[in-house]
Structure 1
């Protein structure tokens, strides 16, 4: 059985995910946004998270 890529409503609310981004890949978007915020959106950071989300 594959791991779920959909975050719960509570997780999305807590992470302030905009409604238009609440789809089946929301569980991958949350760690990506946390990494982006932590690294001040540096384009060379968070590559693993970004590639996972984009794939």
Structure 2
């Protein structure tokens, strides 16, 4: 199920995003890469885009860890 931060496959392909970067935060990666290319990868030029992408990645990580903990608790309860 695509979320608001997931780009379509055609957008990802048009922007040359590799397969291993096509995750739930892919819509934030496209403007980050455009900004990086436009500003010659200067680290202080694309801070807002980078922080937005990293926050999305972290929130996704937390969501997956909570889901895993829930599954482990269910499995332990069934034993």
TM-score, scaled relative to structure 2: 0.65
Compute the displacement of 1:32 (Å): 0.2
Instruction: Give the secondary-structure state (helix, strand or coil) at the position aligned to 2:49.
Output: helix
Which consecutive aligned stretches of 4+ in structure 1 deviate over 6 angstroms post-superposition? Answer: none
Compute the displacement of 1:52 (Å): 0.2
CA distance in 2 between counterparts of 1:34 and 1:22 reads 16
Structure with larger Rg: 2
Aligned length: 53
In structure 1, stretches of 5+ residues that fail to align are none
CA distance in 1 between counterparts of 2:50 and 2:8 reads 20
Q: Which has the higher helix share?
A: 2
Compute the displacement of 1:28 (Å): 0.2
* Residue 43 of structure 1: aligned partner: 43
In structure 2, stretches of 5+ residues that fail to align are 56-79
